[in-house]
Amino acid sequence: MSSIICPHCKAELIRYDKTYKCEQNHCYDLAKEGYLNLLPVNKKKSKSPGDNDLMIAARRHFLEQGYYNPLIEAIRNTVKEELNFKKKTFKVLDSGCGEGFYTQHALRNKHPKSQIFGTDISKYAVKIAAKKYKDNFFFVSSAYHLPVATQSMDLLLSVFSPNDPKEFHRVLKTDGYLIVASPAENHMKQLAELIYNDFRPHEHKIEEDLAAQFEVHLGKRISFDIYLKSAETLQALHKMTPYYYNTSKEAQDKIANCNDITVTCDFHLTVLKPIQK
């Protein structure tokens, strides 16, 4: 059974060559890169929702240099060693997957039968994810209206992306897990200090935000420093952050001239289990 459902009538979507169809004949064509656009026009709040091409390209440039590898490793190890999966093949969804780096590097395991899905509201992101990571299946959709069958996923991953507790609870199997990566107190402290006069530590509210639907299985803190030796890389990191659109010209110049900086990466990795009601 396909785990992807029609965003209009919620019936299962079946593949016929290059098209997916539901029983009511709603049709979705595969794009040439191999992804589906399942975001109904009436669910779009702007013409191109989500991260734009500039942010997505910056994210790919930064991640591919390996700066966040300790976080990737931590997610991989958590899935392998700390979740009580009885079987080796999973159905996994990376929600708000961006350009697909985590979908591929944190989730793909040695089992060709595992089905790995990635979704993001940004068409740019999904397009380049699908183009590069052919073993996974990507589709454009909102985390608040996932075109995913109820109780179909063993694992959900959400890395710095919007979380919808009810929707995540619906798509997860009863014995499934949700892994959320979110910024911890000192994340990007030095970058924020270049931009603002005072640094406000990040608040951690994930457990509270998800508490009605999920209980915490385990929590880890992952902190490490990265050394950026070129202004280009610092600029890529800057474009990945929400600070980008709130940066004065003066701060932009500081970033453009900074060829040597240590930046703290500080994350919470929270593993949650759906509460059975």
- 213-272 residues near ligand SAM, rule: CB under 6 A: none
**List 161, 163, 247, 270, residue binding ligand SAM (CB under 6 A):** 161
- 42-101 residues near ligand SAM, rule: CB under 6 A: 50-51, 59, 96-98, 101
Buried (b) or exposed (e) across 237-260, using 16+ Cβ within 10 A? Answer: bbbbbebbeebeeebeeebeebee
Q: Which is nearer to Zn ion, 21 or 217 (CB)?
A: 21
Residue 108, interface with Zn ion (CB under 5 A)? no
DSSP-based three-state secondary structure for 141: coil
Q: Which is nearer to Zn ion, 24 or 230 (CB)?
A: 24
DSSP class per residue in 143-179: TTB--B-TT-EEEEEEESS---HHHHHHHEEEEEEEE
Which residues are bridge partners to 92 per DSSP?
A: 116, 155
Residues 6+ apart with CB under 8 A from 6: 12, 13, 22, 24, 26, 28, 147
Which residues are bridge partners to 216 per DSSP?
A: 272
Q: Which is nearer to ligand SAM, 122 or 213 (CB)?
A: 122
Residue 147, interface with ligand SAM (CB under 6 A)? no
Per-residue binding string, Zn ion, 13-42, x by CB under 5 A, is ---------x-x-x----------------
The distance of Cα 128 from the centroid of its chain, to the nearest Å, equals 14
Q: Which does 96 bind (CB under 5 to 8 A by kind): Zn ion, ligand SAM, none?
A: ligand SAM
The interface region with ligand SAM, picked from 1-9, 139-147, 199-207, 231-239 by CB under 6 A, is 139-147
65 to 1, 13, 100, 101: CA distances (angstroms): 38, 37, 15, 11
Residue 155, interface with Zn ion (CB under 5 A)? no
Structure-token pair, residue 93: 């969804």
User: Rule CB under 5 A: which residues touch Zn ion?
Assistant: 6, 8-9, 22, 24, 26
User: Rule CB under 6 A: which residues touch ligand SAM?
Assistant: 50-51, 59, 96-98, 101-102, 120-122, 125, 142-144, 159-162
